[in-house]
C-alpha cells in the first residue's frame, strides 16, 4: 500500500518539545557574525534536525516557534527584526524535503536566492558570495547519490545514516545562509570588502553546524524510535501501518 505523507507528521507535544529545545539553545553562542556584532547560536544545529525528524511542514512549525521564542530570549542574536525566525522555517523546510529525498527543493531554493543576489547592484559588487553555496550543492549531490535506491536515513549502516543526516543538514543550513545573506545585503548594505572577508569563514561555520547536527541527530534518530517516538522516514512508515486497509 502506498505510504501516506500528511502535512503534520509528528505529535504536537513532540513538536513543542523540539521548539523549546531550540529556544533554549538560542542562549548558547557559537560564532560571531562578521560585520554585525551579533552571534550565531547552537540552535542553528537543531534547525535542520527539526525538518529531518518531523518532516518539512511539522519541522518548519517547530523551527518557527523555537526561533521566534529564541529571538525573544536572546535578542543579541536578532539581526533582521521580528521576522528573523522565518529563516529557521526555511532551513527546516529544506532539510525536511531532503529527508523525503526531494533534493530538488533545497536545490531550487538555494539557486533562487543565489540568482536574486545577482539582481541587486550591491550583490553584483560582492559577486563571489554565492560561491559559498557550493557546499550546499555538494551536500545535495552526495545525499542524492547515497539515497537513490533507498533512504539512507533508514540504513542499518550507522556511518551511511550519519552521512545522510549531514547532507540533509547541509542543504537546510545553506538555505538559511543564502536567505540570511540576502537579508543582510538589504538591511545593512554591507560593502563588498566585508563579504569577501567572510568567504573563508562562512563555509567552515556551516560545515561545523552541519557536523554538529550530525553528531546530535544520529543517536537521536537511532534511539527515539526505540522509546516509541518515530522520527525521519519512519514517520511515514508508521502512518502507513496505522492507516486502515481499503475495503475490498
DSSP-derived secondary structure letter, 2 = P
Tell me what pLDDT residue 160 has: 96
Displacement of CA 132 from its chain's centroid (Å): 16
CATH architecture of 12-242: Orthogonal Bundle (1.10)
Residue 218's contacts (CB-CB under 8 Å, 6 or more residues apart) are: 158, 161, 162, 165
Grouping H, G, I as helix, E, B as strand and the rest as coil, residue 33 is: coil
Per-residue pLDDT of the chain (248 residues; tens, 9 = 90+): 334 445 556 778 888 999 999 999 888 766 555 544 555 677 888 999 999 999 999 999 999 999 999 889 878 777 777 888 999 999 999 999 999 999 999 999 999 999 999 999 989 999 999 999 999 999 999 999 999 989 999 999 999 999 999 999 999 999 999 999 999 898 888 888 888 988 888 888 889 899 999 999 999 999 999 988 889 998 865 544 444 444 44
Tell me what pLDDT residue 83 has: 85
What's the grid cell of residue 162? 550519519
d(CA 235, CA 201): 36
Length of the chain: 248
- Can you list the positions of beta strands (E) in 38-96? 39-41
What's the grid cell of residue 120? 541587486
d(CA 30, CA 6): 35
Amino acid at each position: 500500500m502506498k505510504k501516506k505523507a500528511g502535512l503534520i507528521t509528528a505529535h504536537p507535544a513532540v513538536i513543542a518539545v523540539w521548539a523549546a529545545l531550540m529556544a533554549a539553545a538560542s542562549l548558547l553562542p557559537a560564532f560571531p557574525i562578521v560585520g554585525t556584532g551579533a552571534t550565531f547560536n547552537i540552535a542553528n544545529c537543531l534547525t535542520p534536525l527539526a525538518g529531518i525528524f518531523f518532516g518539512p511542514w511539522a519541522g518548519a512549525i517547530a523551527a518557527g516557534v523555537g526561533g521566534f521564542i529564541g529571538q525573544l530570549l536572546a535578542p543579541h542574536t536578532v539581526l533582521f527584526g521580528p521576522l528573523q525566525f522565518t529563516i529557521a522555517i526555511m532551513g527546516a523546510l529544506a532539510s525536511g524535503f531532503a529527508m523525503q529525498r526531494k533534493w530538488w527543493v533545497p536545490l531550487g531554493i538555494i539557486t533562487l536566492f543565489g540568482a536574486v543576489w545577482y539582481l541587486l547592484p550591491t550583490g553584483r559588487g560582492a559577486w563571489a558570495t554565492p560561491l559559498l553555496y557550493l557546499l550546499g550543492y555538494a551536500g545535495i549531490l552526495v545525499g542524492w547519490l547515497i539515497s537513490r535506491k533507498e533512504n539512507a536515513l533508514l540504513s542499518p549502516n550507522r556511518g551511511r545514516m550519519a552521512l545522510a543526516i549531514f547532507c540533509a543538514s547541509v542543504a537546510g543550513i545553506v538555505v538559511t545562509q543564502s536567505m540570511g545573506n540576502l537579508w543582510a545585503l538589504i538591511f545593512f548594505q554591507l560593502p563588498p570588502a566585508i563579504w569577501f572577508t567572510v568567504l573563508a569563514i562562512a563555509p567552515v561555520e556551516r560545515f561545523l553546524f552541519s557536523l554538529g547536527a550530525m553528531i546530535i541527530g544520529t543517536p537521536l534518530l537511532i534511539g527515539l524510535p526505540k522509546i516509541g517516538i518515530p522520527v525521519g522516514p519512519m514517520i511515514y512508515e508508521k502512518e502507513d501501518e496505522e492507516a486502515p486497509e481499503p475495503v475490498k
